[in-house]
Homo-oligomer: A and B are copies of this chain.
Amino acid sequence: MNFASDNWAGAHKAISERLVAESGKYWTPYGASTLDEDVERKLSRLFEREVKVFFVATGTAANSLSLAAVKKTGGIIFCHADAHIIHHEGGAVEFMTGGAKLVPVSGDSQGKMSASQLEKTMARYPGDLHIGQKMAISITQATEAGTIYSLDEIRALSAAAKQAGLAIHMDGARFSNAIAALDVSPAEMTWKSGIDILSLGGTKNGCWCAEAIVFFNPEQARDMPHLRKRGANLFSKSTFVSAQFDEWLKDDLWLKLARHSNRMAAQLATAVAASRSARLAWETGSNQLFVVLPDETAAKMTAAGVPLMQWDTPEAMEGRLSADEKIYRFVTSFATRDEDIVQLAALL
Contacts and interface: CB of A to CB of B under 8 A. Distances in A.
Interface of A: 2, 5, 7-13, 15-17, 19-20, 22-30, 56-61, 64-65, 71-76, 86-92, 94-102, 104, 124, 129-133, 203-204, 208-209, 223, 225-227, 229-237, 239-240, 307, 312, 335
Contacts of A237: 7, 10-11, 203, 208-209
Nearest to A57: B57
A13 B8 contact: no
B88 A99 contact: no
A131 B88 contact: yes
Contacts of A91: 73-76, 99-101, 132, 226, 229-230
Contact of A16 (B23, B57, B335): B23
Can you list the 9 inter-chain pairs with the closest CB atoms, starting with the nearest? A74-B91, A90-B229, A94-B99, A7-B236, A95-B99, A61-B232, A57-B57, A73-B226, A88-B130
Given A28-B307, A203-B236, 17 more contacts: A7-B236, A10-B23, A11-B237, A13-B23, A24-B335, A26-B335, A30-B129, A60-B229, A65-B232, A74-B90, A90-B131, A90-B226, A98-B99, A129-B225, A132-B226, A209-B209, A232-B232
A284 B295 CA distance: 48
Contacts of A307: 28
A5 B239 CA distance: 15
A131 B227 contact: no
A98 B223 CA distance: 14
Most buried by B among A73, A86, A204: A73
Given A26-B8, A29-B5, A237-B209, A58 B20 contact: no
B16 A2 contact: no
A9 B234 CA distance: 16
